[in-house]
Chain A
C-alpha cells in the first residue's frame, strides 16, 4: 500500500512531466519575449523541467529505500523515453526552421 505522501510526489512528477512535454509542443513564439523567454518560457525552463528532475530523483531514492524495483524501472523508462522523444522533437523542429 502506497503512502499518500509517495502518491502525491508521484502525481506531481507525472503531471509536471506531461505539462512539460505539452509546453514543448507549443510553438516557440508563445514562449519567447523579445530576447529571453516570456513567463510561460521561464516557468517551463525554471519550474516544470526542474520539478520533474527533482521529483524523479526523490521518488528514485524512496523506491530504492523501499525496494520497489518495478516502480523504479517503469518510471525510469517513461522518463528517459519522454526525454528522448522531446530531444528528437526539438531537434526536428530546429532543423525544420533552418536553425541547425
Chain B
C-alpha cells in the first residue's frame, strides 16, 4: 500500500471552501492505494465485475486492471484508487479514475461508497474543470469547484438503459476540506512566503437530498478571511461512528446519504512514462523509445511499464530498468514487461541462488559457505579418474553443482539436537566426547535415519571394497556413498572432513544417474555460547530436475521438500532418543527451513516491486 496523504492531523487542516450551512468537521483518512490492495476487497471487485459483466467488456489490459465498459463508454482504471475511511472505520469509499473514449469532461471518477448492508453504492463524480485546474487539483493546490461537481448514481445491477435515463444530480450538499501541507501555517497561509499552502489531501463529502444548492455561498472559492479556517464546523452530514451505530452509513434524519470522495486521476500512461524517463528534455531525447511509447500497438506493454515506474516512484533504478525493458521489447527479445522481468530474474538467479529467499542477511552466512563449497582438488581428481576408468550405464561420474540444478526452489535447512550431557558410548562404557560422538554418528548413520540407508557405493564391484574401507576409515574424504532412496537412489561424495563435521556433495554416478537434488549437506557438531553442543544437519540444495520438483510439489501438497524434511526430522528424533537412552541429556531444536517468499516473488514478477527487493534483508 502506498500511503500518499492523510487528513488526520486536525491542527494542520483548514477548510478552504464551504458551501453549506451544514458544514464538515469529520475527517477521513485518505490513502492512495494500489491494485493489489483493491484486489483484497472481494465485494468491491464484485461491484466492478458487475459493471463489467452487465455491459460487456473489451480491450481489458493484459492484467485486467483496466476494466472497460462499452455501454457506459468508459474505462475504470483499477490500477490506483483513493481510499477514504472515517475515524472509527464504519464507513469507507473507493474512488477510481475513469476514462472515456471521447472525453468531454476533464476529470471523472467512479465512486464506490459503502452502504449499511455492506454493498457499495456506485456513482460517477464529474469535475467540470479546465486542464490547468485539473493539474492544480492533482497537485493538491486549491481550486474553486463551485458548480463544477456533478454526481450521477448508477446501479451496477440495473439495466444499462436505466443508467442513461437517470438524471445527473447537481443538487446536493457538499463540503471541501483541505489539509494544509505546512504545519506552521496561519489560516492556510505560509507565514514565511505569504502563499496559500497546498492541500495535502482533499476530501469532498456529498450529501444527497437536502435541496440546497452548492452555488453562491462563496463565489470566490478561497477561504473567507472572516471564517476561522482552523475550525472544523459542525458536521452532522458525514459518516461518523457515534451517529452510526449500525456501521456503514450515518443515521440521517432526512434520510439523506453521504458519500466521501477525493479527486483521483492517473496521468496518461504515455505522459507518465515520458516524464519519468525524462524523454521530454532535449538532452535525454530518445526517438526510438519515444516512438515505441507513442505507438498505439504497444499500448498494453507501455501501460505496464508506465505502471511499473509509477509504483517504484520513478526511481533511478526503475528508470534504467524500464529503458532496458522497452529496448528489449522494441528489439523483439521479449513480448512483455513480465517476460523481461522473468528474463532478468533468471539471469540474476544464476548469479545468486539465494535471491528468492526471504531470509535474514546474518543468517544467510551460515549457508553461504555450504553453497560456495567446492570439492577439494583430490576429490575432483578422483571423480575425473572414475569417469575415465570406471564407466557404467545410466550416468556419468560428475559432481552436481547447486548452480547447475534446474529446480526453482533453493532449500536451506538446519535440523539439530541440543546436547547438554553427552551419552555413554555403548562400545566403551565411557561418555562420548563431542568429536567421538560425531564420529560414532557417521559410522552408524543408518541407525539415526528412517526410510533411507547410507551405504558405500558398490554398484561397480571393482571399487566397492575401496569405497567401503574409505568410508569406514578415520578420514573418509572422497568416499562415495549411496543413499538407497526408493525409486530414486542418490549418490554423494564426502567432499570435506574434519573432527567437527563432514560434507556430502551430490554426485551423478553410473547405475544411479542423478541425485534428485544438487547441493551440499553438512553433518556436524558445534558448541553453543552456553557451553552445550548442537549436533546438526545443515543443507543447501535444489532439485536437479524441474520435472521431479513439480511432481514432488503436486504430491507434497505444494512443499516438494516435505518428505526430505521428514527424513531429517527422523534424524533429530532418533539421535535425541539415542542420547537420552544412553544416560545423556538432549532436546530437539526447532528445525529451520528457509524457502522462497512466493508473494514477494510474485510482486516482482508482476512489476509491483523491483528485483532489488529480493534477497536477504
Contacts and interface: CB of A to CB of B under 8 A. Distances in A.
A23 to B, nearest CB: 10
Given A37-B551, A45-B551, A32 B556 contact: yes
Contacts of B561: 35
Interface stretch (B111-119, B562-570, B584-592): B562-570
A32 B555 CA distance: 7
Nearest to B598: A100
Interface size grouping (class) on chain B: 20 to 34
A44 B483 CA distance: 24
B451 A35 contact: no
Given A35-B517, A36-B516, A36-B552, A29 B563 contact: yes
Nearest to B488: A36
A100 B564 CA distance: 18
B344 interface: no
A20 B484 CA distance: 28
Contacts of B452: 34
A55 to B, nearest CB: 21
A76 to B, nearest CB: 23
A1 B598 CA distance: 54
A32 B563 contact: yes
Nearest to B563: A32
Interface string A12-55: 00000000000000001101111111110110110000000000
Contacts of B562: 28-29, 32, 99
A1 B490 CA distance: 54
B557 interface: yes
Interface in A50-100: 90, 93-94, 97, 99-100
A100 B543 CA distance: 19
A45 B557 contact: no
Contacts of A97: 557, 559
Interface string B478-494: 00000101111010000
A37 B557 contact: no
A34 B552 CA distance: 9
A39 B559 CA distance: 19
B488 A35 contact: yes
A6 B345 CA distance: 50
A42 B551 CA distance: 8
Given A28-B562, A29-B563, A35 B548 contact: yes
A35 B485 CA distance: 8
A100 B557 CA distance: 9
Contact of B552 (A29, A37, A39): A37
A50 B615 CA distance: 38
B460 interface: no
B554 interface: yes
Contact of A38 (B486, B517, B557, B564): B486
Contacts of B451: 33-34
Contact of A36 (B483, B487, B558, B566): B487
Contacts of B567: 34
Contacts of A35: 485, 488, 490, 516-517, 543, 548, 552, 560-561, 563-564
Contact of B563 (A33, A39, A44): A33
A28 B486 contact: no
A41 B555 contact: yes
A4 to B, nearest CB: 35
Contacts of A34: 451-452, 483, 485, 488, 516, 563-564, 567
Most B CB contacts (10 A, CB to CB) among A35, A39, A41, A94 go to A35
A45 B555 contact: yes
A1 to B, nearest CB: 40
Interface in B432-460: 451-452
A29 B569 CA distance: 13
Contacts of B517: 35
Contacts of B516: 34-36
Interface string B518-555: 00000000000000000000000001000010011011
Interface of A: 28-29, 31-39, 41-42, 44-45, 90, 93-94, 97, 99-100
Interface of B: 451-452, 483, 485-488, 490, 516-517, 543, 548, 551-552, 554-564, 566-567
12 contacts: A29-B562, A29-B566, A33-B488, A34-B567, A35-B563, A36-B488, A37-B487, A39-B486, A93-B557, A94-B558, A99-B556, A99-B557
Closest A-B pairs by Cβ, 5 of them: A35-B516, A32-B563, A94-B557, A99-B558, A99-B559
Given A32-B555, A39-B487, A99-B562, 10 more contacts: A28-B556, A29-B566, A31-B555, A33-B487, A33-B563, A34-B516, A36-B516, A36-B552, A41-B551, A45-B555
